[in-house]
Structure 1
């Protein structure tokens, strides 16, 4: 079978072909490393490429295959991880200059789980400074492969760009206010923000500890499920990780019969571009065609919890950076500096008020989710924003609140969400939506995502990238 567009195969398909010895892990890894070498000087998705380590892992995967040894679900599949995740013996800069020389002595749990599943780790993916809104002024920003003038999607930008451009088969991102879901939407991908605590955060640099989620970015719901199944589970080194040792995920899509799907038409349309509202309408038609029971609902008011996101995150990021800020404040970029200073200047009373509002909001969402199985929500209110449109994001709390109005609520509540492609703008930029479920219901999200993607082909579209030197 010819290896045409090998770089755009889905991870599950590649894993199957490796197991049946139709293709070699070494062959695949060499091909992707060559593609990285050709494309990434222009795309800037990688902070660090590790060709020697990746090829050594690929050769070991091939040896195990030839000796009929037990194979993991990602055996021989090249993936990459956001440069927040420790990788033993390799620098982990977290998008900063202050940590550029930090070399951990052990892997983050999410990395060790990927390796245990047989994945080949190609390297570390670029991100915004400290995983907040914008990149450090000295760090080249990853370029959206669909169009260089458009946003690549906040902090997990490198993860989104590399996966969309065929520079890895799936990637690890993190999400504190939307940073798995934004790059998935911006790059035409599928991403899962799991239930808080579903995936260990041990060995992952913090932005806001109680808001941070680690999860996969992939080309399909099936691939995202495969990745999540590999990285989820209890970790005694992370006391906040959920006690479940294993996460059962579906292996095939089904229809949505008997599932109650909630839609708040008013919330979904508040301040959203017409192209987003129209896309959500088409999504509802598809879900109805899959026998989903569409129910009109009223989602709890989000303005307060969204407006207070910066207070909560600011306090937590100030704690996370207490050893280096303000001591090394001159080395920080303006966006992260502003967030840390918000945290350092927030009074205990104001912070407690935000915590109480967050707890009340979580309770209201839990109550609503007793009456529905899934919730349909946009990812962002405007489609495919340009860099110019988002230029003031980090300095404008009102603009930031508008951007995160559909994402940050579920960081505060901890509910899992999957982002799925659902169309394109007139200029050819991807559009996406979210499905949200009850705590612990990632399997249901993956089932619904796979069913949606069996009925649509948005996730099978790829950017037209020409090799550049």
Structure 2
């Protein structure tokens, strides 16, 4: 038995209880739907609750288990997905009032894979407009369960809030500039951004196709690994999904950190952040050393140019994604997303090509560095637990803008995988996190490192009082 409410069980933990038939999937799903009804009225994390189909999926999971049909760790477990992942017959709004009545005819590959694994889909989660930085002015943003004055993250805001608040046992988000990592850090949960190409993007509404990553948000590294193991892999409907074998991310995660070389750039990762973030990072480094990791001082490539190249590169791709509705329906767009598309449409071919060349060079430098170490450690942002008031002004200040993005968008430009792990709290009670970055397609190392850290810390086991 557990010493906390059912809704705060880990994904693997509740899955074992369902699959051993200690609990029924229907019983767990009803519990979660009741909690959504009672709690999400103030948190606003769900756009659409799919109660009827969820109960049908749960009943099928119970029937399969009774018949001895076992499909893996997600079988019977209620999860939810970001509302830019298409679900045939159920509306998918992309965080845009313009698409409030959009009902896809097909289902995203990752959602299909969740279904094939026996997971129960509770519904669709809120996000910023078109997965960019801001929620549309007509949409109420999700509320951070640790405090209504705290930022809930972007763009997978609902995914972070719902997972932290015990409204699902795990969720899917997307990351183009930090959109799995920001809400994971802000809400005190674990987020895994896979390598670009590890997970099919078929059936996901684009922000910027060459930088969009789909990945899990969960309460632990192990739970994130279980989710990734289901959604990863080649897909004939997405030729950019690489045909590499998908590891069993749970099989090798208990190997520990002894002897692993973890790179740390003190100037970039420690000195260039605020005091609370610095204190957390220093404690994390100490913990990793106690676990037997070898901390190696490295010189990480300069990220300043990458940060400032990211927005125009993203803008060009976003303009392509919205060509059917922008500028023809500009009045339906909020100022943030419209501004990004305007930026993209204003770029010259010459400037765009120069940025592409810089992007390729930056990726090469990161590849070379990561070939010499096992992992890289970095903050998620330079600022501990940003408030809503802080986020309202950061876009107007170049230094604040750089501090928010220097640890996230460079790894969307390069495509490298990262895992975000909770590691402390600010004086105001907001979660603080850090991230590991691994070589391309070595998500198994991220799960392993995250698991080891979470065996000796309890930050991921702390939950908001709701």
SS in structure 1 opposite 2:388?
coil
TM-score by length of 1: 0.97
Structure 2: how far apart are the matches of 1:429 and 1:393? Answer: 18
Checking the alignment, whether the CA contact within 8 Å between 1:199 and 1:232 is kept in structure 2 is yes
Shift of 1:311: 0.8
Shift of 1:97: 1.2
Alignment-derived partner of residue 283 in structure 2? 282
Shift of 1:353: 0.9
Alignment-derived partner of residue 414 in structure 1? 415
Structure 2: how far apart are the matches of 1:104 and 1:163? Answer: 25
Checking the alignment, whether the CA contact within 8 Å between 1:261 and 1:373 is kept in structure 2 is yes
Checking the alignment, whether the CA contact within 8 Å between 1:92 and 1:100 is kept in structure 2 is yes
Q: After TM superposition, list the pairs within 5 Å mapping 1:189-200 onto structure 2.
A: 189-200=189-200
Q: Which moved more, 1:92-101 or 1:29-38?
A: 92-101
Per-residue CA deviation, residues 19-53 of structure 1 (Å, 9 max, x unaligned), is 11110100000000000000111000001001001
Checking the alignment, whether the CA contact within 8 Å between 1:216 and 1:227 is kept in structure 2 is yes
Alignment-derived partner of residue 348 in structure 2? 347
Structure 2: how far apart are the matches of 1:457 and 1:390? Answer: 28
Alignment-derived partner of residue 79 in structure 1? 79
SS in structure 1 opposite 2:434?
strand
Alignment-derived partner of residue 118 in structure 2? 118
Structure 2: how far apart are the matches of 1:438 and 1:168? Answer: 30
Per-residue CA deviation, residues 358-401 of structure 1 (Å, 9 max, x unaligned), is 00000001111111110000000001111111113456665433
Within the alignment, does 1:402 sit opposite 2:390 as a pair? no
Alignment-derived partner of residue 69 in structure 1? 69
Per-residue CA deviation, residues 138-170 of structure 1 (Å, 9 max, x unaligned), is 111000000001100111000000000000000
Q: After TM superposition, list the pairs within 5 Å mapping 1:155-194 onto structure 2.
A: 155-194=155-194
Structure 2: how far apart are the matches of 1:255 and 1:2? Answer: 25
SS in structure 2 opposite 1:422?
strand
Per-residue CA deviation, residues 115-138 of structure 1 (Å, 9 max, x unaligned), is 111100000000000000010011
Alignment-derived partner of residue 133 in structure 1? 133
Alignment-derived partner of residue 329 in structure 1? 330
Q: After TM superposition, list the pairs within 5 Å mapping 1:57-456 onto structure 2.
A: 57-251=57-251, 252-394=253-395, 399-456=400-457
Checking the alignment, whether the CA contact within 8 Å between 2:383 and 2:403 is kept in structure 1 is no
Structure 2: how far apart are the matches of 1:226 and 1:370? Answer: 26
Shift of 1:236: 1.1
SS in structure 2 opposite 1:278?
helix
Structure 2: how far apart are the matches of 1:135 and 1:319? Answer: 21
Checking the alignment, whether the CA contact within 8 Å between 2:380 and 2:420 is kept in structure 1 is yes
Per-residue CA deviation, residues 165-221 of structure 1 (Å, 9 max, x unaligned), is 000000000000000001000011000000001010000000011110000000000
Alignment-derived partner of residue 17 in structure 1? 17
Checking the alignment, whether the CA contact within 8 Å between 2:2 and 2:9 is kept in structure 1 is no
Checking the alignment, whether the CA contact within 8 Å between 1:176 and 1:408 is kept in structure 2 is yes
Alignment-derived partner of residue 47 in structure 1? 47
Please, what is the CA RMSD of the aligned residues? 1.2
Change (3 A) 1:87 1:349: same
Checking the alignment, whether the CA contact within 8 Å between 1:134 and 1:394 is kept in structure 2 is no
Per-residue CA deviation, residues 230-271 of structure 1 (Å, 9 max, x unaligned), is 100001111111111423313443321221100000001354
Per-residue CA deviation, residues 323-374 of structure 1 (Å, 9 max, x unaligned), is 0000000000000010000000011111111111100000001111111110
Shift of 1:304: 0.4
Checking the alignment, whether the CA contact within 8 Å between 1:416 and 1:440 is kept in structure 2 is yes
Checking the alignment, whether the CA contact within 8 Å between 1:335 and 1:395 is kept in structure 2 is no
SS in structure 2 opposite 1:389?
helix
Change (3 A) 1:285 1:163: same
Structure 1: how far apart are the matches of 2:270 and 2:261? Answer: 21
Aligned length: 465
Structure 2: how far apart are the matches of 1:8 and 1:355? Answer: 44
Checking the alignment, whether the CA contact within 8 Å between 2:195 and 2:441 is kept in structure 1 is yes
Structure 1: how far apart are the matches of 2:133 and 2:358? Answer: 24
Checking the alignment, whether the CA contact within 8 Å between 1:29 and 1:78 is kept in structure 2 is yes
Checking the alignment, whether the CA contact within 8 Å between 1:232 and 1:247 is kept in structure 2 is no
Checking the alignment, whether the CA contact within 8 Å between 1:133 and 1:393 is kept in structure 2 is no
Structure 1: how far apart are the matches of 2:152 and 2:254? Answer: 29
Structure 2: how far apart are the matches of 1:105 and 1:322? Answer: 20
Structure 1: how far apart are the matches of 2:161 and 2:460? Answer: 15
Unaligned runs of 5+ in 1: none
Structure 2: how far apart are the matches of 1:166 and 1:63? Answer: 26
Structure 2: how far apart are the matches of 1:98 and 1:270? Answer: 43
Structure 1: how far apart are the matches of 2:3 and 2:461? Answer: 17
Checking the alignment, whether the CA contact within 8 Å between 2:50 and 2:122 is kept in structure 1 is yes
